[in-house]
Amino acid sequence: MAMAMAMNVSSSCFCVAGNRTSGNRLRVVASEDLVGLKIKDDKVKLGGSDLEVTRLGIGAWSWGDTSYWNNFEWDDRKMKAAKAAFDTSVDCGITFFDTAEVYGSRFSFGAINSETLLGRFIKERKVKDPEVEVAVATKYAALPWRLGRQSVLTALKDSLNRLELSSVELYQLHWPGIWGNEGYIDGLGDAVEQGLVKAVGVSNYSESRLRDAYKKLEKRGIPLASNQVNYSLIYRAPEENGVKAACDELGVTLIAYSPIAQGVLTGKYTPENPTNWSSRPDLHSPSFLTKLQPLLNRIKEIGENYSKTNTQVVLNWLVAQENVIPIPGAKNAVQAEEFAGAIGWRLTGEEIDELRSLAMEIKPVTGFPVEKL
C-alpha cells in the first residue's frame, strides 16, 4: 500500500511532501513556496467564528516563566531561544500563538510575563516583515476576587497593554470560576461587541459548563469558538467525559494543551534516562516510562515510515481526530521547526486506531484538577 510521506529540511522550512493520488500512486512535490501554500490551505475556522488559524498553534506557557518551567530561572539565553522559537514558527507558517495573563506571573521571582514577550516578538517581527499576520490567543484568570463582566474587560485591556495590541484574535476564560461564571461569559460577549476580540472561548470546561456557555453566548448571536483542554494520546479524558463529543456537536473547536504530555511522548525520556527534574513525577517516573515503551516503540516505527519523529506522529494523531488544534509549547527553534512538520500529511486510519489501542493499555495519567470543578 502506497504511503504518504513528508519531510522538513533545514531551518528555512523548505519542504518535500508527498500526497496520495488516485490509484495509490505517490506524488512528490518540491517547492520553496510549498510551506506557505500548504499552511494557507491548512487554515481552519475556529468554531463558528470567522477567525481562521493554522491547524497547529504554539503554546507560550514557558516563555518568561520561573514558577513551573525553566528550572525556576529566566535569563537572556532562554529569552533568545524563545524569540527564535517564535520566528521559526512564523517562518514555517505557524502563526497561531497561545498565551495567558498568568504565564510568567509577576508574583514569580525573576519572571517576565509571557504576553509581554509575545507582544515584543510580534513587534520586532513586523519591523522586518510588515505584512506578517499573527493570531494571538490569551486568557482571563477567573480568580475568586474577580466578579462580574467588567472584570473580564478590565483584564483584557491589561493584556492588550502588555501585548501592545489594540485587539486579539481569541480571548478565553482560563478555567471556570468558583462563582461568577455567568458574569464572565457576559464579559466575553461584551469584548466581542466592543471590537476588542475576534472570537471568544473557554478552557478546562466540562461538557455541562461548555453547553451553558454556548447557550448564553448564542442568545447574543456570538459563537463560542473554542474549549482548550488537556488532550493527548495518553490523556484522552475529553473523549471519555463528553467534552470532545459536545465540541463536535456544537461546532466548538477543541484546542489541545499538553499534546505531547510534557515531553513524555517524544521518546526523549526512558526508564534508564528519566528527567532530573519534573513538576509531573507521575509522568516522568521510571515505572510509568517502562509501561509506556511499547507505545513509544510503535510510534517510532510508524514515524520512520513517514520520515517523521515521535513528536510529529503524536501531534498528527491529534489533528486526525478532527476539530482539534494542538498547541505544543516551543522553547527553541529546533522544537518549533519539528512541530511544524506535524501537519501537511496524515496517518492512516489503521495507524490512528492502533495507537489508540496501545495507549488504552496504559493507566490514564492525572489531568489538570480544575477540569473537575
Catalytic residue among 103, 140, 205, 257: 103
Mean pLDDT of all residues in 172-196: 94
- At 14 the pLDDT is 43
Note whether 283 and 264 are within 8 A (CB): yes
Query: In 3D, which of 101, 171, 92 has the Cα closest to residue 137?
Result: 171
Q: Is the pLDDT of residue 173 over 50?
A: yes
pLDDT band with cut points at 50, 70 and 90 for residue 270 = confident
Helix, strand counts (H, E) of the chain = 13, 13
What's the whole-number mean pLDDT along residues 19-29?
31
At position 186, the amino acid (one-letter code) is D
CA distance 366 to 347: 27
**What pLDDT is recorded for position 77?**
86
Output the pLDDT for position 368: 60
Predicted TM-score of the model (pTM): 0.87
DSSP string spanning 283-346?
Answer: HHSHHHHHHHHHHHHHHHHHHHHHT--HHHHHHHHHHTTSSEEE--B--SHHHHHHHHTTSSS-
Region 152-162: mean pLDDT is 97
More confident residue, 270 or 305: 305
Radius of gyration of the CA atoms of the chain, in A:
20
Average pLDDT value over all residues in the chain: 85
Q: How far is CA 13 from the centre of its chain?
A: 20
Lowest mean pLDDT among 25-34, 82-91, 258-267: 25-34
- At 271 the pLDDT is 75
Which has the minimum average pLDDT: 29-38, 74-83, 293-302, 309-318?
29-38
Concerning whether 103 is annotated as a catalytic residue, the answer is yes
Is 90 exceeded by the pLDDT of residue 78?
no
Nearest to 312 by CA among 333, 337, 332, 342: 342
pLDDT at 276: 59
Choice between 232 and 285, residue whose per-residue pLDDT is larger: 232
pLDDT > 70 fraction of the chain, expressed in percent and rounded:
79
Q: Lowest-pLDDT range, 237-241, 270-274, 278-282, 309-313?
A: 278-282
What's the pLDDT score for residue 272? 77
The alpha helices in the chain, defined as continuous H runs, are 34-41, 76-91, 114-128, 148-163, 181-193, 207-218, 237-240, 243-250, 281-284, 286-306, 310-319, 333-340, 349-360
> Would the pLDDT of 35 be above 60?
no
Work out the average pLDDT over 5-14: 40
Q: State how beta strands 168-173 and 135-140 pair.
A: parallel
